[in-house]
Amino acid sequence: MDKQDTIRIRWQMPRGELGVDSDPQNPLNASLAKLFSEKSDLDFKLSMLLFDAGALGLRWFGVLVLTKGRRLLFFPGTISKLDRIEAYKGNTKRWNEQFEFDHISLEGDRKTWHITSPGSNTHLPKRSKGSPKTLELGEDRCLWFAFSVQSPALLKKLYRETIVTFTSPESDSERRLSEFNNARDEMEFPLMSINGDIDSLKELADSFLHFTFIIGKTGFNPYLGGNIALPHGGPYVESFQPGAVQLPSNTFMVNMSDDVAVQIICNVVPGKLAMPYSVTGQEANNAN
């Protein structure tokens, strides 16, 4: 058996809180642990997504990855490990079970997606129950999913230095380091923010953050319509009436390759999110 090397990469940022983040749950750590565990040839692109929370400082929003197989992966920047998932379709409960959440995967055909555990050992929903579908938006665009966060304080702090640790066969260490450098070469690392007073995020009592992911070909016209997968239905949102408010949005474009781009729409939504985080799909057009 090939000897194993332990490789540590120090990633330094010009902004962020002074200190070092070596947490294996950091989205950069989690994404590379997944990618470097793949047995196939490595070939991927990686974009680090940051969020400006005003007085709360810079935060990780997550990491986006485009794999060799053309799948898109999103590793969220949550402050703690997510180990249980409860899901509803409208007001009907679909499941409530222990599940170690690692990332969200969009298949290469952009038709279906699922939630994945570390090492891709388990998927939710289970394949036998069918995967959530994306929503076609016209102009070769689709709505992948939306991610809601109860408070920006629940996004992981960004420190000036991040340490990524992973193991590699001794004979393959140099190639994997080279792949990491290639993965981030010429990639975009957007700093996202809300459309409004960012310092108001410190007192986000009666509203929550909502991020919608739109997929298309590089250079596509940004989606400006009303299909943004708001989390209505189920028991998770209080004092919220979909369609009753006009949301001031900020939109950010991330070019993952010559032919794949991701638009992320950021909103502050009035209402109370009863859970720390919510992942929402939308399979039907409900825009006015």
Pick from 158, 187, 153: nearest CA to 13: 158
Instruction: Please give the model's pTM, rounded to 2 decimal places.
Output: 0.88
Where do the structural domains in the chain lie, given as residue ranges? 4-280
pLDDT tens for the chain, 288 residues: list them.
567 777 788 888 888 999 999 998 899 888 887 777 655 556 788 899 999 998 889 999 999 999 888 899 999 999 977 766 666 666 665 656 666 778 889 999 999 998 887 766 666 655 545 678 999 999 999 999 999 999 999 999 999 999 988 776 766 677 777 777 676 666 678 899 988 777 767 666 788 999 999 999 999 999 999 899 888 766 677 766 555 455 668 999 999 999 999 999 999 888 888 888 888 888 777 654
d(CA 116, CA 141): 23
d(CA 125, CA 138): 27
The two tokens of residue 65 are: 């990855």
Residue with tokens 């509803």: 88
The two tokens of residue 59 are: 């935060």
The two tokens of residue 182 are: 């290639």
d(CA 74, CA 206): 27
